[in-house]
Amino acid sequence: MKFKIYRYNPDTDNAPYMQDFDLDLQAGDAMLLDALMLLKQQDDSLGFRKSCREGVCGSDAMNINGRNGLACITALSSLKQPIEIRPLPGLPIIRDLIVDMTQFFKQYHSIKPYLVNNDPPPETERLQSPQDREELDGLYECILCGCCTTACPSFWWNPDKFVGPAGLLQAYRFIADTRDQDTAARLDNLEDPYRLFRCHTIMNCVDVCPKELNPTEAIGKIKDMMVKRTV
Amino acid sequence: MVNRTVTGAHYGLRDWLAQRVTAAVMAIYVLVVVGYLLMQPSFGYDTWLELFTSNVMRTFTMLFLLSLFYHAWIGVRDIVMDYVKPAGIRLLIHVLVILALLVYVIWSVQILWGM
């Protein structure tokens, strides 16, 4: 199998370059991450993140043949060769396929990704009806891998001001939660020409999400709620 | 002034909604005008003149143009926000765009009711 992998070590390289790799491997059921691990045996300077290797931790998000995805759940047999692997676009490179996610998490933290409830905690837990709980399906599953946000041109252009699809999906996750008491402040926080409304609904986020979530729909629901409270 | 990223101008929703409403007005206008013109047996200066002497048509056209200008303002402002980083120059361009659009409004009234 043939690979072309983005290499850049800011300590030794003047500029990033693409390195060719050859791997003697039958695709079979193997995932891209398996191949990367074998390639690391060939060249142990190759840098990438990984942890759970089953699409739960979100560490090994990368740009695979031009599309963001998780290496650990991308089947080698589904990829055209040479398999071109680059880091997630739009974020600073630390080394090779490892990107600096600071800006991504800054935006995530800006939407207060936690339940705000000032009532004294009940003895057992804060209950929800099954219907209210259902509203959180498709929202809570996000693993914050960053595939969607780094596929979004609005985020590439305004990473300091536009929250990005992952952050906005989580914003709606807490707006939709009936146990949360901060809805008005959460909507205020997003009612700005940059933070939410830089989304122009091109749906790259939906296209790449490895968990098949739909940030665009969540963004639409936030807009609906803003309209509802205004008119 | 410290150099910090500031967000939180509370007009995101208003402009987003306005852009959608003005788009709907423009779409309806185009459909009505194109439909009307297609239904005419012959098409010439007479048809055009007759269409625009009616005050209903003039008002509808003015509504279309106002929608267009407001829609354009939001779009152009978004582009300027994306590409012009120094706030002072951005403000200057915004003011120039607003003044130009106001001139277009006056000009439109002159064209539609000036004959």
Mind listing the pLDDT tens digit for each residue in A211-226?
999 999 999 999 999 9
Q: For position B114, what pLDDT does the model report?
A: 85
CATH number of the domain at A33, please. Answer: 3.10.20.30
Residues of chain A below pLDDT 50: none
Best of A110, A197, A200, A222 to disrupt the B interface by mutation (most B CBs within 10 Å)?
Answer: A197
Q: How buried is A72 (Cβ within 10 angstroms: 0-12 exposed, 13-18 middle, 19+ buried)?
A: buried
Shared domain check, A133 and A213? yes
- Chain A neighbours among B 50-79 (CB < 8 Å)? 78
Give the DSSP H/E element, type plus range, for residue A93.
Answer: strand A93-95
Question: What structural domains does chain B harbor?
Answer: 14-113 (1.20.1300.10)
CA–CA min distance A88, chain B (Å): 22
Task: Evaluate if pTM is beyond 0.80.
Answer: yes
Domain final residue, candidates A73, A99, A125: A99
Q: How far apart are CA A98 and CA A48, in angstroms?
A: 5
Shared-domain flag, residues A124 and A187: yes
Nearest to A191 among B5, B10, B82 (CB): B10
Its domain, for residue A192, covers 102-230
Same domain assignment for residues A193 and A139: yes
The contacts of residue A200 (CB under 8 Å, 6+ apart) are A154
pLDDT digits (tens, 9 = 90+) for A66-87: 999 999 999 999 999 999 999 9
Same domain (yes/no): A121, A176: yes
User: Which of A80, A99, A118 is the last residue in one of the domains?
Assistant: A99
- SS3 state at A158: coil
Its ipTM equals: 0.84
Count structural domains, chain A: 2
Which of A58, A80, A99 is the last residue before a domain boundary? A99
